Structure 1
Amino acid sequence: MRGWPISLTTRLALLFALLTATLLIVVVLVQGSAVEGHLRELDDQELSGKVTLIKNLLHRAEPYRTLRQRLDDAFIGHDALAVVLRDAEGTVVYAIRPAFFGERPLAEDALPDTPTLWDKGGKQYLGLETTVEALDFWSQPTRLRALVGLDVSHHRLFLEQVRERLWIDIYFAVIVAALFALFAAHRGLAPLRRVTATARNLSAEGLGERLAERGAPSEVRALVVAFNGMLERLESSFRRLSDFSADIAHELRTPVSNLMTQTEVALSHTRSPDEYREVLASNLEEYERIARMVSDMLFLAQAENGVLPRSLEAVNLADEARALIDFYEALAEEKEVRIVLAGEASVTGDRLMIRRALSNLLSNALRHSRSESLVEISITGEAGLATLAVKNYGDTIPSDQLSQIFERFHRASPERHRHGEGAGLGLAITRSIVATHGGRIEVTSDAGVTTFTLYLPLAAAEPSANA
């Protein structure tokens, strides 16, 4: 069974408490070892001093009773000291507190000649065994074995008390550190809680809320910026989706209403076959209009999601423009408009998609050109970009409409008619095609002259020179 999830605040608090405990334990161990070593050094020095004192006292020619008395006087007040002197046969010639050593050192097991620790009766002792020379009354040297021991239990007790107090201090220090870390993490993660609260309150109708970047920690500021950017993109997407839904409903309502009206009229009374054919032909036009609209919408959706299938080939813009001029020749003659072409450049892309973009611009220019005017197509290639401009002479597009002219179903003026790709999707499709090919499109309109300009990367083999 999975355990309960632990919050990030709790994890940070536990981690900080663990680090604090680890550091304190390391400090205690290091300092405890240093103190223990220092106390051992003091005990060694004291033991060495006692051995030196014994040697000095024995290195005098005095009667035994006087020597014993001097030893007793020297060790008055040294309750933690034990001394046993033995001759070569092992006979004890002097002893003070021999119980410190136990039976084995006093019998056959000699102590090392270096300071050695041992425990006895719940206490700890430090001692050694060494050879000393004693002068008798006639100044004759006699070798003796000296057992010298110190009761160092007070040092061990001191260390145990210190360690116990330090462990208690570590316990409370870890608790305080955990509480402090909990408070700090809680305050530090406040921006995350605000992100959570904002995300919890998000809805399609309330995407305008933003998080304050000022005051956010540097580690969280990037998240706040990214979250605000996400909200901005969502708001923009929902707004476009809402506008698109409203526009498509409006656009479909007219042909559907026409179909219903014509069908109701046709069914209102008996008609001749020719009249029925006329109604069906009219309905077919509306169906074709709906089909084109659906197809264009599907194309735009694929373009926005980057799933448009396209091939890469060298496309000569002048050749494509000439083919389209031939195609629109009849329409141009009907409107008494002449199309002129200048320049040449090649790009890499999908030939059909690029032709569709040029066709949209050219048909748009023809529809909105004045009679007996020109539609000028100029192509250049320089600085790694192919530029294709389509200029027509007609009504000026209001400046406040220029930034919206590439939006779906947008009309620069209520008077603009919709036919074919002029139903408000042609320029949006053109912009998507150009963007898919890594280019951009711009429009200017002033004093009756409107110019749409495409910028596309030149083909690799295209020289950077004006055509």
Structure 2
Amino acid sequence: MIRIRSLTARLASLFAALTASLLVLAAVLFGRMLEAHFQELDLHELNGKLALIRNALQDESGDSALAERIQVLERAFVGHESVGVLLRAIDGRVVHVIHPEHFTLAQRAGTPLAATMGDGAGDWSVEGRPHRGVEARVALPGAGAGDAAVEVLVALDLSHHAHFLASVRSATWGGVAVAALVAALFGWLAAHRGLAPLRRVTETARRLSARQLGERLAAGDAPLEVRDHVEAFNGMLARLEAAFQRLADYSADIAHELRTPVSNLMTQTQVALSRPRTAEEYQDILASNLEEYERIARMVSDMLFLAKADGNTLARGGESIDLAREADALIDFYEALADERRVRIVRTGGATVRGDRAMLRRALSNLISNALRHTPAGGEITIAIESDDARIRLVVSNVGDPIPADQLERIFDRFHRGNAQRESHGEGAGLGLAITRSIVRAHGGEISARSSEGITRFAIAIPRHTSTSAT
């Protein structure tokens, strides 16, 4: 079985097959109707001839004998070469034949007609020529001849009908073939034109590269059937472009963040090797290098954590966690740093969630640490825990430098620190909020930020179906 792989060829073949099927069906119906019409005309003509013969044989205007009446029939059928008449006595003896070439040898020998069409009508063939005829008994008038009768068989040569039907069939099948080819051609053209947007998709895909993702397909001239595909393809290109841009930015940020500690390590090592030093000086240099190594280790650990979050491989536990207790523990942990900066941390409300204790504590710790870096002396940090029928909310608020509106959508991006004024408050790598968002999303929640009137709020919302509330 030949399998057509081209969609255009398949559609063209389908057009051709459908057109040919419809035309064949129409041709068959037309042929049968034409044959039925010809049969009706033939029977009408045969019955007319039979009526003519009956009138001639039953003519009572004179005392002519049967032989004379037959001579009248002979004259009546002069010029009617396609019609034959056979007269047969009651005992089967053939009395007379007009145009005997229209009858079979058996019929001329006295065999009656085998009626196959009802009403004494039937078909037969003589030397390959089709015939149709009717047979009837005709009573002969005359004194003492009340029971005298003859069997009359009238035959009609159908060769002209057969030739006409054959020519019609030939023309019909030729027309079907031509129509199928034309339908296939138009189907191919329609499919080829209709699939043009898909070919443009292919051409665009071939031109794509990491440096050339800005191309888009025009959806306006695409058919409705492929417009959704074009729009989906454009959306995929937009997502790829954004992903590649984020990857490029991410790579550049990683290089930038790693460059500083590596440069510090190289500088300190070069200075240490520039001249002999005492053991205490080497210890100081090694201690300084250790801080840089720890900074690099934290950065690598954070990036590995975010890579797991991107791959959806963070393992979220199912233990019950008292958010108020965790918040209080973190407040105690940051108490010394808060006192040093003269910042007050207050917690209100409480709720219980199910999840991973270490991950949620890390998320809350990141928010508190971030708030401490940006809260001025004498300020206050508030941790508010609320719950309702739909979700549990944890909001960390602090006073301090506001976050510009155009930065609020980007503060959860990796290595993003906001404006220079906020960046000056710390030396973080800009991964804390990105990690916090990944942890919250791993627990089925979302995190948002608002900054107005000197107050910045980070709100975590976790759906209630993954949590249980507590007073």
What TM-score comes out, normalization by structure 1 length? 0.92
Instruction: Kindly indicate whether the alpha-carbon contact (under 8 Å) linking 2:93 and 2:110 is maintained by their aligned counterparts in 1.
Output: no
CA 1:375–1:418 in structure 2 vs 1: closer, same or farther (change >3 Å)? closer
Distance in 1 (alpha carbons) for counterparts of 2:330 and 2:277: 43
Residue 187 of structure 1 aligns to a residue whose secondary structure is helix
Q: Is 1:446 equivalent to 2:437 in the alignment?
A: no
**Alpha-carbon distance, 1:100 to partner:** 1.2
After superposition, give the CA deviation of every residue in 1:391-413 in whole Å (9 maximum; x if it has no partner): 11222223332222111111123
The match for 1:183 among 186, 189, 194 is: 189
3-state secondary structure, aligned to 1:360: helix
Q: What's the counterpart of residue 141 of structure 2?
A: 135
Gaps of 5+ in 2: none
The offset of 1:273, in angstroms, is 3.6
User: How do 1:135-284 and structure 2 match up within 5 A?
Assistant: 135-136=141-142, 138-284=144-290
In 2, the alpha carbon distance for the partners of 1:418 and 1:279 equals 26
- Pick closer, same or farther for the CA change 1:90–1:443 going to 2, 3 Å: closer
Distance in 1 of aligned mates of 2:282 and 2:172: 104
Q: Is the 8 A contact 2:359 2:439 kept in 1?
A: yes
Q: Is the 8 A contact 2:390 2:464 kept in 1?
A: yes
Contact 2:354 2:467 in 1 (8 A): no
**Take 1:339 and 1:121, find their aligned partners in 2: how far apart are those partners?**
119
- One-letter identity of the residue aligned with 1:74: A
Deviation of residue 136 (structure 1)?
4.1
Number of the residue aligned with 2:108: 106
Cα 1:367–1:124, aligned 2, differ >3 Å: closer, same or farther? same
- 2:57/2:70 contact within 8 Å kept: no
Q: CA deviation at 1:8?
A: 1.8
Indicate the larger mover: 97-106 or 134-143. 134-143
Q: State the match for 2:58 in structure 1.
A: 59
Stretch deviating more after TM superposition (289-298 or 219-228): 289-298
Of stretches 135-144 and 196-205 in structure 1, the one that deviates more from structure 2 is 135-144
In 2, Cα distance between the equivalents of 1:458 and 1:99?
A: 103
Instruction: Answer yes or no: is 1:324 the counterpart of 2:300.
Output: no
The 1:187–1:373 alpha-carbon spacing in structure 2 relative to 1, beyond 3 Å, is same
Contact 1:348 1:459 in 2 (8 A): no
Q: Which moved more, 1:276-285 or 1:181-190?
A: 276-285
What's 1:88 paired with? Answer: 90
- In the alignment, the residues of structure 2 paired with residue 46 and residue 185 of structure 1 have an alpha-carbon distance, to the nearest angstrom, of 54
Task: Return closer, same or farther for 1:458/1:93 CA change in 2, 3 Å cut-off.
Answer: closer
Q: CA deviation at 1:417?
A: 5.0
Residue 121 of structure 2 corresponds to residue 115 of structure 1: yes
Whole-Å Cα distance in 1 between the matches of residues 434 and 424 of structure 2? 16
Give, in angstroms, the shift of residue 311 of structure 1. Answer: 1.6
Are residues 289 and 417 of structure 1, via their aligned partners in 2, closer, same or farther at CA, if it must alter by over 3 Å?
A: farther
Q: Is the 8 A contact 1:63 1:136 kept in 2?
A: no
SS across alignment from 2:337: helix
Q: Does 1:313 align with 2:319?
A: yes
Deviation per residue, 1:337-392 (Å, 9 max, x gap): 11111011233322222111111001111122112221111111124121111111
Q: Structure 1 residues 444-453 or 241-250, which shifts more?
A: 444-453
Match of 1:388 among 380, 383, 394: 394
The aligned counterpart of 2:430 is: 424
Cα deviation per residue 1:69-126 (whole Å; 9 max; x = unaligned)? 3212332332211111121343322210122112122226432243222222231111
CA RMSD of aligned residues (A): 2.3
Secondary structure of the equivalent of 1:141?
coil
> 1:403 is matched by which residue type in structure 2?
E
Compute the displacement of 1:267 (Å). 2.7
CA gap of 1:259–1:3, structure 2 versus 1, over 3 A, is farther
- Note closer, same or farther for the CA distance 1:264–1:109 as it changes in structure 2 (3 Å cut): farther
- Indicate conservation of the 8 Å contact 1:112/1:129, yes or no: no
- 2:354 equivalent among 341, 348, 351: 348
Amino acid at match of 2:98: I
Q: Alpha carbons of 1:284 and 1:461: their partners in 2 closer, same or farther (altered >3 Å)?
A: closer
Q: Counterparts in 2 of 1:294-309, with a 5 A limit?
A: 294-309=300-315
Instruction: State which drifts further: 395-404 or 79-88.
Output: 395-404
Segment of structure 1 superposing worse, 367-376 or 49-58: 49-58
Asked whether the 8 Å contact 1:213–1:221 carries over to 2, the reply is yes
TM-score of the aligned structures, taking structure 2 as reference length? 0.92
Task: Supply the distance in 2 between the matched residues of 1:25 and 1:3 (Cα, whole angstroms).
Answer: 24
3-state SS, counterpart of residue 317 of structure 2? coil
| Deviation per residue, 1:416-450 (Å, 9 max, x gap) | 25868x32000111111222222222222234322
Match in the other structure for 2:9: 10
**Conservation of the 8 A alpha-carbon contact between 2:92 and 2:111:** no
Structure 1 counterpart of 2:376: 370
Shift in alpha-carbon separation, 1:137–1:98, aligned structure 2, 3 A: farther
Unpaired segments ≥5 residues, structure 1: none
Helix, strand or coil for the counterpart of 1:135?
Answer: coil
| Contact 1:112–1:128, Cα closer than 8 Å, also in 2 | no
Rounded Cα–Cα distance in structure 2 between residues aligned with 1:296 and 1:265: 30
Instruction: Give the letter aligned to residue 107 of structure 1.
Output: A
In structure 1, distance between residues paired with 2:222 and 2:352: 51
